[in-house]
A and B are shown apart, each in its own frame.
Chain A
Amino acid sequence: MISFSLTEEQQMLIDAVHRYAERELRKSMRDADETGQLPADLIASGWELGLTPSSIPETYGGFGEHSAVTGALYAEELAWGDLSAAMNLLAPNLLVIPLLEYGTDSQKESLLPQFCDMAFVPATAALLEPHITFDPHNLRTTAEKQGDHYVLNGQKVYVPLAADATHILVYANEGDSTQAFIVEKDTAGLTIGEREKNMGIKALPTYKVSLENCTIPAENKLGGEAGINFTRLLSYSYVALGAMAVGVAKASYEYAKEYAKEREAFGEPIASRQAIAFMLAEMAIDIDAARLMVWEAAWKLDRGEDATAETALVKKFTDEMVMTVTDGGVQVLGGHGYIREHPVELWFRNGRGFATFTGMAMV
């Protein structure tokens, strides 16, 4: 029957993640954005929360099972803390989740255990391409079978942690279907470009990645000959990004609300004026609605059901919601919101990115 309550385990988990987000991520957020660097130990201590291993079954060294609902819960809290750190910490999911869903036994056995260790191992995926008519179902990066190998050609952008990643899961067009290919660090034909300069997520290292006749063993095609259901993997990405959008939006809304109660104009707090109060009310309503939409889509995925339509709607709704809310956040703070001291302008810059970040997060 319909229920909106969390399990005890889920509640404990998000309480722990929230503490980490509040005490560590928020503290370093502004400096990290200015310098482009997250503090050295930030990711290490985040890794101790055991988020990625909680999706991995015991057979492979983990302690849980893949749950998009649980992932949505922790992704929201992390993003509420700081989006750059959240995407950094969860980057390994970009390889782990596809492996869990579609990996062959041999692929799972060889690659999953390393993500159950004490130390953070950087891994990532490359999906986005540098053209404005990007279509994840019609990629320009190609994969051609040649004997016992696949040869990959193309340009990828916005690849988190590519320079340090032990493995990059490269999405490419094989016979008009998007498939995924495991490319090890230092493979010939794989070139990691310069670190990109983005409007937001400035503390998250992202890179251009070029593939020029990059040749990999055929066994590195994810899922072997059967391949993957890419539409379904995209659904897991839309859930993650939707949850993160909710987190970022919530951060902005809460901050603006507190500011509006303190800031006085014409003899009373600006929160006493309907123009401001109604902006905040609309934010609150759409944030809550977005969260429920993410949960419904994630719940369907966890039941093995198709959530293509639901996640498309999640993406549409949350992309717009997070921009409207983070824009509102700056607006409520007025001139002060425009300065790189209050966090609202940072959330505004991060907020715009969601419309583009397809494939950069997964739960």
Chain B
Amino acid sequence: MIDFSLSDRIKQQNVQMQMVAEGLMRPVSREMDEKEHDKPWDFINATWQFTSAQTARMLKKLDQQQSGETTAKKEKGPSEYYMSLVYMIEWLSWGDAGIYLCLPMSALAGSAIEAVGTPEQKKRFLSRFAEGEPKWGGMAITEPHAGSDTSAIRTTARLDPETNEWVLNGEKIFVTSGLMAAEKSDGILVVWATVDPSAGRRGIKSFVVEANTPGMKVTKVEHKLGIRASDTAAIVFEDCRIPYDNILGDPEVKTTEKTKGFKGAMKTFDASRPLVAASALGVGRAALEFTKDALKKEGIEIRYTAPRHKLTAIEQDVMEMEAQYKAAWLLTLRAAWMMDQKLPNNLEASMAKAKAGKAVTFVTQKAVELLGTLGYSRDWLVEKWMRDAKINDIFEGTGQINHLIVARRILGYNRTQLK
């Protein structure tokens, strides 16, 4: 039945995440934003405890599934895996969206490997995330000339039959956690490259490149508008050699358009889009709560029962912020619920991301506007939240692309029927 109550497990998790957000993130928020490329090590070391434990559990489950063992303790009731992730990410982003992205974990690299990797690959690449020092994973897709149009990437992967290695050549930009994953930790990158440039999307595969592999070099760490604590890297591949078995999925270039490899990787976005929406909404909630508190201190409270002609302009603005925020939040919960129910959610995931990006851009910009000289000042965090929020309408599928996906789905149109 329709239900909006939180399970005890999520309630407990929320308490913990709030502590992390308030104790480890907010106190260093401004500093991390101003200094831009320092890392929040207290946050990283503290959170590594639970991200590594989570990975350990996932790998153990994998082992058990492989060996045919039944799990000793059967999970009671339906899964809440994605719902918990949504709430976790929302709270951490409420803390600080840039610092959240510094979470030491396999991230998109991990989700790609979990989606299309073999059991051997999962163990080989992901075990490190369950032990030792903090590590990062990242995904390298975007190139200077190719963002939304992922099929236009030019990084090549040529097979050297003598050494049975792939040789990567190309340039990637905008790799989140790229510096930490490629050079500063024992991490991994999943790199999209083409094995056959003439074959378009059919030639595109993903490859795992371990940290500090010769031929991979971080050439730049960007200076950004927001999420400054997160290292966004440009990475060059020059005759970068990786083992044959580092390819994810099927190396064959299929004759039809329907390629499992490309589609499989795109499917990870159905899972990650609601999570990006959740991150956006954490920032939105921070701005909304802060705005209402600031107004309250000035004696301005929102009168929900006042008739239209008596509502002040500011009350109307705040209610609009709340309504847009709530619309996006509920769409995000629905998308996450569908993931947990194993229902296909390509449409709903894109709806959530499209709405969240737009809503949070509006909410955070409105917040700075309403809070005047204090909102605009770097003494308060509101202006930072507005800068942090903007990325959510851009990365992991721009708002325009997500609206395009929604439009194609509702119309039943493909790429040629609706451009």
Contacts and interface: CB of A to CB of B under 8 A. Distances in A.
Contacts of B355: 285, 289
A4 B410 contact: no
B3 A134 contact: no
Contact of A312 (B305, B348, B354): B305
Q: What's the dominant secondary structure at chain A's contact region? A: helix
A239 to B, nearest CB: 13
A293 B330 contact: yes
Nearest to A73: B2
B2 A308 contact: no
A284 B410 CA distance: 8
Contacts of A134: 307
A272 interface: yes
Contacts of B305: 137, 231, 234, 308, 312
A157 interface: no
B327 A290 contact: yes
A70 to B, nearest CB: 9
Interface stretch (B4-12, B167-175, B238-246, B383-391): B4-12
Interface stretch (B59-67, B227-235, B317-325): B317-325
Contact of A278 (B3, B7, B351, B403): B403
Contacts of A137: 305, 307
B81 interface: no
A220 B310 CA distance: 32
A5 B333 contact: no
B304 A308 contact: yes
Q: Report the contact-size class of chain A (Cβ under 8 Å from the partner).
A: 35 or more
B326 interface: yes
Contacts of B328: 289
A313 B319 contact: yes
A352 interface: no
B413 interface: yes
A281 B353 CA distance: 13
Interface in B320-358: 320, 322-323, 326-328, 330-331, 333-334, 337-338, 341, 348, 351, 354-355
Contact of A6 (B1, B307, B413): B1
B309 A299 contact: no
Contacts of B334: 4, 288, 292
Contact of B331 (A135, A136, A261, A292): A292
A238 to B, nearest CB: 11
A271 B404 CA distance: 12
A299 B410 contact: no
A295 to B, nearest CB: 5
B2 A4 contact: yes
B351 A271 contact: no
A295 B411 contact: no
Contact of B407 (A5, A278, A295, A317): A278
A223 B302 CA distance: 30
Given A135-B310, A272-B417, A285-B354, A2 B410 contact: no
A2 B319 contact: no
A312 B337 contact: no
B351 A285 contact: yes
A139 to B, nearest CB: 11
A7 interface: yes
Given A2-B337, A135-B307, A308-B304, A289 B2 contact: no
A282 interface: yes
Contacts of A110: none
Given A2-B83, A3-B1, A316-B319, A288 B7 contact: no
Interface in A255-276: 257, 260-261, 269, 271-272, 274
A257 B411 contact: yes
Contacts of A1: 3, 5-7, 10, 77-78, 80, 83
B314 interface: no
A132 B330 CA distance: 33
B53 interface: no
Interface in B349-389: 351, 354-355
A316 B337 CA distance: 26
B1 A5 contact: yes
B418 interface: yes
B4 A272 contact: no
B16 to A, nearest CB: 18
Interface in A1-28: 1-7, 10
Given A136-B307, A289-B331, A69 B406 contact: no
Contacts of A272: 413, 417-419
Nearest to B304: A312
A144 interface: no
Interface in B266-307: 302, 304-307
Closest 6 CB pairs of A and B: A289-B327, A292-B330, A135-B307, A312-B304, A277-B407, A281-B407
15 contacts: A135-B306, A138-B307, A271-B413, A272-B413, A280-B407, A281-B404, A281-B407, A284-B351, A289-B330, A292-B330, A292-B331, A293-B326, A296-B330, A309-B304, A316-B320
Interface of B: 1-7, 10, 77-78, 80, 83, 302, 304-307, 309-310, 319-320, 322-323, 326-328, 330-331, 333-334, 337-338, 341, 348, 351, 354-355, 403-404, 406-408, 410-411, 413, 417-419
Given A3-B3, A272-B418, 4 more contacts: A1-B5, A5-B2, A277-B404, A286-B327
